[in-house]
Amino acid sequence: MRICRCCAATRRGWSRGYEAMIDVDSLSVTFGHGAAAVHAVRRISFHVADGESFGLVGESGSGKSTVLRALSGLNPHWSGRLAVAGKALERRRDTAFYKQVQMVFQDPYASLHPRHTVDRILAEPIAIHGLGDPDRRIAHALDEVGLGAQFRYRYPHQLSGGQRQRVAIARALILEPKILLLDEPTSALDVSVQAEVLNLLHRLKRERDLTYILVSHNLAVVAHMCGRLAVMNHGAIVEEMTAAQLRAREPSHPYTKQLLVASLGYDRAAIDQFEDFAATA
C-alpha cells in the first residue's frame, strides 16, 4: 500500500488499519485556453480514509466546489490522479462509480425537478441502476431521512427548504453509496433547520459507515462535522489541519487565521486589518 507523503493524519489512519477511500493527487482544473485560462484548482493533493469526514473550507472562487465536481465526474477538465477505493478514475464514469459515490448539492430549490413528485425523484436512480423493489426502497429512504409516507406524492414546491434537502439526501442514499460528496448542504437553510440536517448527516454516517467530503465556507459547520479539513485559497490548499487544531485556534497560515477571526463575528478593529490574499503561483 502506498504511504502518503503529504498528510501525516492519513498515515496515522492507515496504521490503525484504515484504507484510503479517496485519493486526490496533484489535481488541477483549468477552464478556458491560452491567455483566458482560469486555473480553478492548482495541483492539490489530499487523502480521505474509509469512514472519515473531510472538510474543504474556503471562500467563493477558491475552487472547493470544483474539486467535488471533478471527483463526482461532473467536470471532465481535470488533470492529475483521482482514485476511489484504490481504483483510479477516468474522465467518464460508469454506473458502478455512481452506485458508490453520490453528491448532495447546495441549493435544494434548484437540485430537484420541479415537475416530478418525490416518489418519481427517488424512483429514477433505482430504475437507472436496475435495482428491484422500488416501492420498499423509496419508503425506507424517506423513513431514514425523517420524512413520513405523507411526503411521497408531493411536489418539491409543496416542501420547505429543509424537507427538500432531506429528499436530496434520500435520493443520494437510495443507491446505498459508500461516499457522499456534500457541497454546502446547509448554507441555503435556516440555522434551526441546518441543525436538523447536520444531525441527520451525523446519524446516517454512524449507521452506514459513510465517508464524507463536506465543502463549506462555514468553519463552525466543518469543525462540527469533520475530523480533518483543508483550507483552500485561489485554487490551492494553503493548510491541512485537524478539527482539534481548529478548535484550539492554532492555524499556521495567515489566511486561516483571518478566516478564524472573521468567524468570531463583527469586530470593527479586526476588519481594518484584513488582507487580500493574492494568488500564489
Partner 1 sequence: MSTSRPLLDVADLRVDFATPKGVVQAVRGVSFTLGREKLGVVGESGSGKSVTGRAILKLVRPPGRVTAKRLSFDGIDLQACDEPAMRAIRGRRISMVMQDPKFSLNPVMPVGTQIAEAYRLHGQGSAAEAKRRALEMLEAVRIRDPERVYRAYPHEVSGGMGQRIMIAMMLIPDPDLLIADEPTSALDVTVQLQVLAILDDLVTQRGMGLIFISHDLGLVASFCDRVLILYGGRVMEVCDAKRLGEATHPYTRGLLDCLPRIEAGHADLPVLRRDPAWLEQGI
Question: Which residue, among 10, 29, 38, has the nearest Cα to 72 in the 3D structure?
Answer: 29
CA–chain centroid gap for 76, Å, is 18
Element of type H or E holding 70: helix 64-71
Q: Looking at beta carbons only, is 155 or 277 nearer to partner 1?
A: 277
Q: Looking at beta carbons only, is 170 or 246 nearer to partner 1?
A: 246
135 touches partner 1 by CB under 8 A: no
Q: Binding mask 43-62 vs partner 1 (x if CB under 8 A, - otherwise)? A: ----------------xxx-
Give the footprint of partner 1 on residues 103-122 (CB under 8 A).
none
Alpha helices in 101-242 (DSSP H): 118-128, 134-144, 161-173, 191-208, 219-225
272 touches partner 1 by CB under 8 A: yes
Stretch that binds partner 1, among 30-38, 65-73, 169-177, 192-200 (CB under 8 A): 192-200
| Exposed / middle / buried, residue 261 (Cβ in 10 Å: 0-12, 13-18, 19+) | middle
Q: What number of other Cβ atoms are within 10 A of residue 81's Cβ?
A: 13
Out of 50, 119, 124, 196, the residue judged to bind partner 1 by CB under 8 A: 196
Q: How many residues bind partner 1 (CB under 8 A)?
A: 40
**The 78-84 sheet, strands edge to edge:** 38-49, 20-31, 78-84, 87-88
Chain positions contacting partner 1, by CB under 8 A: 59-61, 161, 190-196, 198-199, 202-203, 217-221, 223-225, 243, 246-247, 249, 258-260, 262-268, 271-272, 274
